[in-house]
Amino acid sequence: MIQIPSMISLPNTEGNVVVLNSALQQLDRFDYNEDMHYDLIQDPKGISLERINYNEPTQKRDNWHSAATQGDHNMTHVGNNGTPTSQNSQYSKDPYFNGDFSLKKELFSPDNDGYEDQLEIIYQFGTSGYTANIRIYNSKGQLVRSLANNELLATEGVIRWDGLTNDNQKANIGIYVIYIEVFNLNGDVKHYKLKTVVAGRI
């Protein structure tokens, strides 16, 4: 670990970073430009480019992706559109994993008693660049909550539902269907349906 007095300033549009050893021999180099950001991001200012897998070549263009941009009300990878001092939000261990969504527990009771107050939807993808729409419907097929609207996901994470509806009301006790649509710029579209139960005291 080498400590430096302060981090160098990096231009948003383009630049390069070179790592040298004490003999001034080049150990690594990264040349970047703003065109490397996720195409659906309108303004990449303030959004970090993150390396997907450190075992792949630094200069490999598709080994970099914009940091996940989801808000802290639902997601685990949060902050100022980057994950400094933490694992990159777009980090991928296994590029051959096709992706999946699952629930930590199907039943939860959003009564703020400190026990199973939130539903946790766990996801993982082997490649970055998936954008998600997530809707929750009641047993009558009525939309009760939109958890994600065209939000760029990290390669893995947790999405949480606090049991509130779009009207900021507590959801009624009963069965709910979580409908998930994810897509990327290659035209790959995936759909998932999960079932959950909102429990409570009668």
Confidence class for position 143, pLDDT limits 50, 70, 90: very high
Residue 97 has pLDDT above 80, yes or no: no
CATH number of 14-198: 2.60.40.2550
- Tell whether the model's pLDDT for residue 6 goes beyond 50: yes
Q: Please state the rounded mean pLDDT for residues 186-202.
A: 89
Cα gap 129→90, rounded to integer Å: 8
| Phi, psi at 86, each rounded to 5° | -120, 170
Q: For residues 91 and 50, give the distance between their C-alpha atoms in angstroms, rounded to a whole number.
A: 8
Number of neighbours of residue 15 by Cβ within 10 angstroms? 14
Which tokens belong to 84?
Answer: 């400094």
Pick the more confident residue, 15 or 126: 15
Say yes or no to pLDDT of 164 above 70.
yes
Instruction: Kindly list the domain boundaries of the chain, sorted by start residue.
Output: 14-198
Average pLDDT over residues 19-31: 90
Say what the pTM is: 0.59
Burial class for 52, CB neighbours closer than 10 Å (0-12, 13-18, 19+)? buried
Highest average pLDDT, of 7-11, 97-101, 153-157, comes from: 153-157
Cα-based angle 73, 65, 32 (whole degrees, multiple of 5): 130
- Report how far residue 183's alpha carbon sits from residue 169's, in angstroms, rounded to the nearest whole number: 30
Calculate Rg over the CA atoms of the chain: 20
Strands 174-183, 189-198: parallel, antiparallel or unpaired by DSSP? antiparallel
CA–CA distance, 101 with 99 (Å, rounded to integer): 7
**Among 202, 103, 99, 120, CA closest to 163:** 120
High-pLDDT (> 90) share of the chain, %: 35
DSSP β-ladder status, 107-108 and 119-124: unpaired
**pLDDT at residue 74, rounded to an integer:** 37
pLDDT, greater one: 149 or 55? 149
Q: What is the mean pLDDT of residues 38-43?
A: 76
80 compared with 89, residue with greater pLDDT:
89
pLDDT at 79 (0 to 100): 42
Average pLDDT over residues 58-68: 80
pLDDT at position 153 over 60: yes
